Structure 1
Amino acid sequence: MKVKKLVVVSMLSSIAFVLMLLNFPFPGLPDYLKIDFSDVPAIIAILIYGPLAGIAVEAIKNVLQYIIQGSMAGVPVGQVANFIAGTLFILPTAFLFKKLNSAKGLAVSLLLGTAAMTILMSILNYVLILPAYTWFLHSPALSDSALKTAVVAGILPFNMIKGIVITVVFSLIFIKLKPWIEQQRSAHIH
């Protein structure tokens, strides 16, 4: 059973990596903020195997992305930010879906994940991530006003939109995948 879990998590990580490459900017937001659907396989991993599997998918896709594409900062600041954002987004599902085992419960947990990702990534971008980018790029530090503007006009709406879009897309996919996910989950439990 452990081999099957390893294979499934590896496959979901590979799919997540490919989905990460198929990204697109959202109109009206900075071009460096791109929406992708790479969190969908992590949600599937969480529903089947639990939180550690979802976190593993988030980690592996970002490691692969850094190895293959690198980072403009030279260090994986963007990948770390993506890992944190993805983990914040998917973790509420890991804990709430067990209690609210329905499509509605899934949507509620993903919307809570959206709220967690939006709020916490706004704070982390203000305090840590955006300053790290400027430091690693040897750029002048952003003023407090510029940081606030970047977060309020870019990061915050981006994460909210991304979370809502992924919630809607996954909720639609979940309707078709639910029997398979339940079959996989029951096979994993037994």
Structure 2
Amino acid sequence: MLTAVVDNLFFVAEFLGIVFATFVVAFVFEKIANKRSGYDGPVITTQKIAMIGLFGAISTILMMFEVPLPFAPAFYKLDFSELPIMIVTFAFGPVAGVLTEFIKILLKVMFKSTSTAFVGELANFCVGASLILPASIIYIFNKTRNGALVGSITGTIIMTVFGSVFNAVYLLPKFAQLFGMDLNAIIGMGSAINPSVSNIQTFALMIVAPVNLLKGTLISTLTIVLYKKFSPVLKQGKAFREVNMAK
């Protein structure tokens, strides 16, 4: 029992370390972009904090509505919680996106706790960040519709590849370890749906990759469609810098 608690505490510490590292990457790139554009103000403003809180709450609500997928085990479901995060990220930069992603996870744990020893929450944060971070970094250096499109496509590809590798190498083995499960039992859930699944690598390729590709494609498409409608409202206030997406 004590060993399980210690393992879980170490895992939470690793989780927070990943969050911090992701924030640092976002902060560095945003500072570089701000310097190139001639903006010397703070990366985080009061208005941004308000939007981070608001969109984090909206994302948490959307996270509660999950759609089961016929080609994946029950613990892989589709939700649209990344959509508000992508919108606020394009409007206010990668730092706002990473913080909103973290707030979403924090609120989810506060209101619904965790049923996966925080493995699901870490997966959601990391995979979500692997979409929004590259997309927003590309967009912040090229604030046009093409920049948003290239960023979204790049983010979706990175999300698909990273999510698959991260699940195979770390998340699924960690989930099995924390729950005292045999990893083969998880692989068996995949092979019951797709006979091509025979090991952790084919599980990631045949199950995880399609889930992330589908989610990334849907979120990116909806973001491109909806961003122009939301951006005038998001940018109200003198402290908000223009981040217009060209028609």
* TM-score (norm: length of structure 1): 0.88
Mapped contact 2:93–2:140 kept (Cα < 8 A): no
What SS does structure 2 have at the residue aligned with 1:101?
coil
Distance 1:46 1:174 in 2: 10
Give yes or no for contact 1:47–1:185 (8 Å, CA) kept in 2: no
1:152 correspondence with 2:205: yes
Contact 2:135–2:155 at 8 Å: present in 1 too?
yes
> Which AA in structure 2 matches 1:168?
T
Is structure 2 residue 68 aligned with structure 1 residue 16? no
Q: CA RMSD in A?
A: 2.2
Which structure would you say has the larger Rg? 2
Match of 2:223 in 1: 170
- The alignment status of 1:58 with 2:101, answered yes or no, reads yes
Pair 1:80 & 2:117 matched: no
Deviations 1:19-56 (A, max 9, x none): 11122123322222111111122222222322111101
1:161 aligns with 2:203: no
Q: When the two structures are aligned, how many residues end up with a matched partner? A: 188
2:91, 2:231 within 8 Å by CA — same for their partners in 1? no
Structure 1 residues 85, 155: CA separation in 2 closer, same or farther (over 3 Å shift)?
same
1:95 is matched with 137
Shift of 1:89: 0.3
Alignment partner, residue 130 of structure 1: 172
CA positional deviation for 1:61: 0.7
TM-score (normalizing by structure 2): 0.69
Alignment match, 1:40:
83
Q: Which runs of 5 or more structure 2 residues have no equivalent in the other structure?
A: 1-43, 188-196, 243-247
Give the secondary structure class of the aligned counterpart of 1:27.
coil
Structure 1 residues 110 and 184: alpha-carbon distance in aligned structure 2, compared to 1, 3 A threshold: farther
Structure 1, unaligned runs of 5 or more? none
Percent identity among equivalent residues?
28
Rounded to whole Å, the distance in 2 between the matches of 1:29 and 1:164 is 17
State the alpha-carbon separation in 2 of the partners of residues 9 and 178 from structure 1.
15
Moved over 6 A (4+): none
Judged with a 3 Å threshold, the aligned counterparts in structure 2 of structure 1 residues 30 and 104 are, in CA distance, closer, same or farther, namely: farther
